[in-house]
Amino acid sequence: MIYNVLMNLQEQSNLGKKRSKKLTDRYDFLFLAGFGIAFLVTLVTFSLLGLAPKEISTSSESALNGGLSLESSSNTSLFGVDFTKGTTKTIVKSSQISGDDLPVRVVISKIGLDSKILNPDSTDVNFLDNELTKDPVRYPGSGTLSSGNIFVFGHSTGFKIVQNPAYKVFNQVKTLVVGDQITVYSLTGKAHIYTVVSAKDAKKEDTWIDFSADKPSITLSTCDRLSQIGDRFVVKAVLAQ
């Protein structure tokens, strides 16, 4: 009888171990599945907020024509389209641009915008992307206050959880209409007033930004919809005085 009791106890112990192992395996599976789902949700969220890594491509058209091609294959944190690395044109360093010609501040009273404009010398996209976490950026090689088309891009987002003001700086740019005024200040403090001549959604097929202009101009660009690849909002204004 004692032998039978011991055997029953052994069988119960083995059965308990098997059940424990099954539970452990199940919890391991649930943990891995939960971790995977959490990782995917985080990745998607970062992508929507423009914080995920991106692919960068160069454009031969841009290199040949002295502008910027915005051909896109994926959404980015810059302003809804992929960047090229600019042109083969020699980029004049910001330190070599006259203080009267270097745009360092943009003010649009209608939408309560008053922001610095950064003037980096590098066209490396990762570098520019990092600069955008601080303030709007003038693309190196684009126009100055005395000539050409100044191309300035900045972030905008409707996500309330985003705390960095640099990601919201161009939120209201999309409300601008023809006739509105944009004031840009030089390094020496001189004000240059521009009048908006176009304000529109630009699809991914509209890829060309021309840095040349018959009259000093400025183009502001920001992402239009984070969920739609390549879309952005572009405002162009010409010097009024």
Give me the residue spans of the domains in the chain.
60-239
- What secondary structure does DSSP assign to the chain, as a single string? -HHHHHHHHHHHHHHHHHHHHHHHHHHHHHHHHHHHHHHHHHHHHHHHTT-S-------HHHHHHTEEE---SS--TTTSS------SSPPPPGGGS-TTT-EEEEEEGGGTEEEE-B--S---HHHHHHHTTTS-EEPTTS--SSSSEEEEE------TT---GGGTTTGGGGG--TT-EEEEEETT--EEEEEEEEEEEE-TT--EEE---SS-EEEEEEES-TTSTT-EEEEEEEE--
Count Cβ atoms below 10 Å from residue 124 Cβ, excluding itself. Answer: 14
Quick one: average pLDDT of 111-116?
A: 96
pLDDT digits (tens, 9 = 90+) for 52-81: 443 323 333 333 345 555 443 333 334 433
The third-level CATH classification (topology) of the domain covering 60-239 is Sortase; Chain: A; (2.40.260)
pTM: 0.66
Confidence of residue 227 (pLDDT cuts 50, 70, 90): very low
pLDDT digits (tens, 9 = 90+) for 154-213: 988 777 777 888 888 899 999 999 999 999 999 999 999 999 999 988 776 665 677 888
Tell me the percentage of the chain whose pLDDT exceeds 90. 34
Quick one: average pLDDT of 13-28?
A: 58
Q: 150 has which bridge partners?
A: 218
pLDDT score for 161: 75
